[in-house]
Amino acid sequence: MDIQLPGMDGLQATRHLKSVEELMHIPVVALTSYAMQGDEDKAYEAGCSGYISKPIDTDSFVAMISSHLEAANREGPVSEQKV
């Protein structure tokens, strides 16, 4: 999720996604080319699973995204999780 989106920024969009029960299990990784001090903390507070600033190291990018997708697949949607 790009932090710098027009209209609703990426952190607002993440908060919205995380507030919807059917969507809250989807991992969101914040991505920005304009990293400001404190942005990483704000991303995690908004519900992001990870944070990447540009320029992107393609090897670590693929590894990070893969690990978040694998974790989400293990956990499954909230409706499928056992309580």
Domains of the chain: 10-80 (3.40.50.2300)
Span 50-61, mean pLDDT? 85
Instruction: Give just the sign of the alpha carbon dihedral 23, 29, 30, 32.
Output: negative
Point out which residues pair with 52 in neighbouring strands: 31
Confidence of residue 79 (pLDDT cuts 50, 70, 90): very low
User: Which one is predicted more confidently, 11 or 60?
Assistant: 11
Task: Using the predicted structure, report yes or no on whether residue 78 has a pLDDT greater than 60.
Answer: no
Tell me the pLDDT tens digit for each residue of 4-30. Answer: 888 889 999 999 999 999 998 888 999
Does the pTM of the predicted model rise above 0.85?
no
Span 21-46, mean pLDDT? 88
